[in-house]
Structure 1
Amino acid sequence: MFAIRSVDTVVVDLPIRRRHRIGVGVMTRQSSVVVQVHTRDGVTGLGEAVVPGGGPEWGGESVETMKAVIDLYLAPALCAAPMSGVNDAVARLDRASAHNRFAKAALEMALWDIVGKVHGCPVSELFGGLVRDRLPVLWSVGADTERAADEIADRVAAGHRMVKFMMAHPSPAEDAARILGLLREVPEDVVVVVDPNGRWDESAARRWLPRLAEAGVDIAEQPLPAWNLDGMARIRASSGMRVMADEAVASVHDAVAVSRRRSADLFSVKVPKSGGLAAANGIAAVARAAGIGCYGGGTMETSIGTSAAAQLFGTWPVVHGCDLIGPLLMTDDVVVEPVSYENGDLVVPRGPGLGVELDEQKLRKYARE
């Protein structure tokens, strides 16, 4: 049993190496909410509330709404009385708010960090232990990245064995033409993913995905809107490539629905989107039971959220790569020692809890006024 004394939240705005255009908008920086949960026994847990770009366009929550919901509703619920553990805390958060998964995920992350620190073990041990200490990392190319061919060559030379092309043009034909041109720069042994962020309709997907498959694209990530599970199943049967569900899989209930309709070959499992580590692990369990592959999704986290997600993904029996590239795309971080990457792989942190330490000076430097 543990009792929470207080919760601190700070919005940070971190610079990124280049603008990153995705289906719902353009990222020129990455914003997130850094959360510190303090117990009455003097232990502090770190968490991160994050969505791509920091705004509500992709996930429905923003850094501003997440901070407000945590400060006004979720933190008081945690501090109201002692809790028996993380499961008890999550139930309390669910009673305090019907939705707000991204905000809840940050607090749950901090609670796991506390439990790991108290027991002197990494969070991965709390989920059964690692089966791998490295995760292959996909590199994401923005929809209008300048000198994209040079960037692809650099990242392949650095060891990345998966490349994702974001698709954001108003016309699917423009997206397809751009990618068909860039595929000449991708070695044959590199897995290629295209991601329309659910913005294509079924007619466009039927026309262009088979052509992209013939040219070497391996996976289409969320080609259709999240609600169109039957259309996803039809595209999966006709496109000639694997289909990965992202926005369509935000809960275990979503995972069951997608599995029943056979709408995807892979799930992009994201900790913030799922509402926390335990919920994300539940989605992965549904996927394994249904014979669907698991891919470790990312939402442009700092090393805080990256470490949390990596420790969970590292416990899965099979993982088809990940896109935990936040610390690579950002030019700075908010921890003392950022997570490390070697030869295209993310090295899973092994210290107590999340295995990262907050850099208070960096937190102040990037804190939003």
Structure 2
Amino acid sequence: MGLFDCFGAFDYCTHETSAQTHEIPTKNVRLFSYYSLRSATRLFHPSNRIGRGGFGVVYKGVLRDETQVAIKALSAGSKQGIKEFLTELATISKIRHPNLVQLLGCCVEGDHRILVYEYMENNSLHTALLGSYSKRAELDWSKRAAICLGTAKGLAFLHEDAEPGIVHRDIKASNVLLDEDFLPKIGDFGLAKLFPDNVTHVSTRVAGTVGYLAPEYALLGQLTKKADVYSFGVLILEITSGRSSSKAVFGEELYVLLEWTWKLFKEGRLLDVVDPDLVDYTEDQITRFMKVALFCTQAASQQRPDMKQVVKMLSTDVTLNEKLLTEPGLFRPKSSSKSEGDSFRFSSHSDKGKECVTQPTTPTNLEHSTTDMIPR
């Protein structure tokens, strides 16, 4: 039996899947045999490897009907049994939105846990924008603005409209995938519930994505929607600047991207952040996008807008109330030494080097107007 024959409901490929899955209702989750996925990836050949994340390695695969798919071999063992695992996947597979990567099916044979997704022709935003020059795509401002807005819409859907609502936990450039028209789609949503807390790189190697992590999440473990909002704000700055939040440093003080943006904002030089490769853009629009990023990355989580507000601020020509904008927060390793690699301090531009946590404040209730957008 080939892969095409197995690409359907459980009943059509029972004899090629583990006997343990017998009589488990799969609803929207299509089951693939391990043999068929090995064939689709040419035995998971390294040449078909297209990415790696906290949950596993991703390979390009081709089905019997020539449909291209992305096959993610999960690297960590699930804490759940097969029934519970499939139940979670059934929930994820029902979540549909134009800006979310669609889960097509899975394999649950023996110790194998493999997910099958729709294939995205232009890989990840990280590759297209921040990767090696040979792999980068030509992303003009119109494409970048559309990527910002589409990603915001996908995240707003996860937070407010998905049932149940989902906090992504790892919004970053490598988890925003691009289709053939550079339409952005968020990947890896909902997967955190499939694994113990100590098996993803978010919890064991915070330094790996420290540039995206909200202070209250990295320091205190407070995981809310506003942690995703913070990460999205950092992502906007990467898209507008063409620079990595975790690698690029600026000035004699070696500011990271968020610190540098805040400094230039206070000096009235925000346009200096813009990627020099961008030559055709509207200054008011790109400036508004960067200010939205600063609203999203404020140290106190209560001061950040929700994602539906973010969508409105990005999609309409509003004037932002900058008087409400407060300083961003971020983490830096105390030391680069291995022994202190998991130790972080909260810092900001004005308090660089001090160990502190900004106490959340409650934003003042102020009215909106048609021209004055007040994130709160």
| TM-score under structure 2 length normalisation | 0.22
Name the structure with the higher strand share: 1
The structure whose Rg is larger is 2
| TM-score under structure 1 length normalisation | 0.22
